Amino acid sequence: MDELKNDWLEWIKALLIAVVLAFVIKTFFFTPIIVDGPSMEPTLHDRDQMIVNKFSYRVNDPKRFDIVVFHASEQKDFIKRIIGLPGEHVAVKNNVLYINGNRVEEPFIDQGQGENFPILENNFTLEEIPGEHDVIPDDHFLVLGDNRSNSTDSRMLGVISRDQIVGKTNLIYWPFDRLRILGE
């Protein structure tokens, strides 16, 4: 009887350790997210399931073109691409991205041209978005969806603070036929 009791205690202890470990990993390191809507097409599709790396930005700074998850509100997280970094001026003219007056190629946008993802005029300057900044403030970022014609992003929300960023995401794990790591 004591042996059976010891076996149960070992199982319970192992289960508690597993639950605590899973909680710590999900809270501080990695968490799943499901893409909601077409704003990141063609790169990400509605209902793609991804892993968010919450640890990456504790040791590295966010970079241009990173795909990030951030708190858009207390109830909702968004997934978008970092376009502008602190201290930069951003403008889009004739659907061409300019950072500090220099043209910047966006290869992830080019793959979306065609019937399914028409490129519409989405011109703006940093001064025209909420906050009316002439450069992006320290510890803030300008984020846009890849599907610029159908995305709620910095053009409506303004620049986002580093504190709003949950983490970086670049691994699609479901659906299985879309399993891939997105390019750096």
Sign of CA dihedral 163, 140, 68, 149: positive
Superfamily for the 31-181 domain? Umud Fragment, subunit A (2.10.109.10)
For residue 168, indicate whether it is catalytic. no
> 42: cis peptide before it, omega within 30°?
yes
Is 5 considered catalytic here? no
Q: Which of 56, 80, 151, 154 is catalytic?
A: 80
Where in the chain are the domains?
31-181
Find, among 134, 129, 65, 124, the residue nearest to 91 by Cα: 124
**Which one of 5, 13, 26, 39 is the catalytic residue?**
39
- Cβ-Cβ contacts under 8 Å for 159 (sequence gap 6 or more): 84, 129, 131, 133, 136, 137, 140, 141, 142
- Whether the pTM exceeds 0.85: the reply is no
pLDDT by 10s per residue, the chain, length 184: 677 777 788 888 888 888 887 777 666 677 889 999 999 998 999 999 999 998 889 889 999 999 999 999 888 999 999 999 999 999 999 889 999 999 999 888 755 444 555 555 578 999 999 998 999 999 999 999 999 888 999 999 999 999 999 999 988 999 989 988 887 5
